[in-house]
Structure 1
Amino acid sequence: MVVRHSAGLLLYRRSGDRVEVLLAHMGGPFWAKKDEAAWSLPKGELEDGEDPETAARREFTEELGLPAPEGPLHPLGDVRQSGKVVTAWAVEADLDPATVVPGTFDLEWPPRSGRMQQFPEVDRVEWFDVETARAKLVKGQRAFLDRFIP
């Protein structure tokens, strides 16, 4: 069985003695009315033979419509999430969530209707303190916050 592999970036910023992380609320009809455990790092699947770090930067740009941050990446390792492996890095950077222009994906909706609709990859991004982020993140990615030391 082939294991899917995704990669992503955990952006963080400092505001005085407070540290905040940037999370993306997953787009599409399945997540529309959910908040707790419905947010993710900007991430996506690796292409065949692609380096995970390169994929993380590419996916950041595809999901948020903004250039990936240039700063040094701090490895957060791997987690298993929904039958796939996710690799992530933390990077210090700031961005204005209002500037995000998310990518889109096609989905048959409603199911078995034969109608394809386009949905945003993410429907919003926000900065959260680390403890609030822990409740917002999907459970499979919470280990990244445990490994995150700004």
Structure 2
Amino acid sequence: MPKQSAGILLFRGHGPDLEVLLVHPGGPLWARKDAGAWTIPKGEFGPDEDPLTAARREFAEETGVALVGPFHALSPIRQRAGKVVHAWACRGDCDPAALRSNTFELEWPPRSGKRQKLPRGRPRGVLLAGRRALQDQPRPGRPPRRARAPAGRA
């Protein structure tokens, strides 16, 4: 069975003013990658766990915000590597500057023996960057755009 992840797409606004919350992976491996790296807050779950429960847990871990819903199921997608991602949309609002991600420990630099605590994601400012980040995602048949994050937003 393929690995599975669950996440929540938080959105606010209407029509052309619609904004979504996206996160950027944390840690040194993603520090200089922007185009194509943005995603919804999500994480893996086991075969005995309810996917929506996992999605709510992962959202809280990656942003510090506990959502109450309502949640609207979106169609699952299969990523290139085979992982299946289940997602729910939820209307809501939050202050991007107040978002806080949990941390993980990593030996960095590799084989140095030094361990660092690093954020799992970089959620700060993503509501403002959401539209640009979506535009930077690679599309089938089109190479990804080379874009730079605005100062202080990524």
RMSD: 2.5
Aligned to 1:132: 132
The C-alpha deviation readout for 1:99-132, integer Å capped at 9, x for no partner, is 1111011112111222221110112341158753
Bigger fraction of residues in strand: 1
The answer (yes or no) to whether the contact 1:21–1:133 under 8 Å persists in 2 is: no
From the CA coordinates, give the structure whose radius of gyration is larger. Answer: 2
Aligned to 1:142: none
Task: Count how many residue pairs are aligned between Structure 1 and Structure 2.
Answer: 139
TM-score of the aligned structures, taking structure 1 as reference length? 0.79
The answer (yes or no) to whether the contact 1:46–1:52 under 8 Å persists in 2 is: yes
Aligned to 2:29: 30
The answer (yes or no) to whether the contact 2:62–2:123 under 8 Å persists in 1 is: no
Mapping for residues 62-73 of structure 1, pairs under 5 Å: 62-73=61-72
Letter in structure 1 aligned against 2:93: D
Mapping for residues 5-44 of structure 1, pairs under 5 Å: 5-14=4-13, 17-44=16-43
- Considering Cα pairs closer than 8 Å and 6+ residues apart, tell me whether 1 or 2 has the greater RCO: 1
Which segments of 5 or more consecutive residues in structure 2 lack a partner in the other structure? 140-154
Aligned to 2:148: none
TM-score of the aligned structures, taking structure 2 as reference length? 0.77
CA distance in 1, matches of 2:68, 2:78: 22
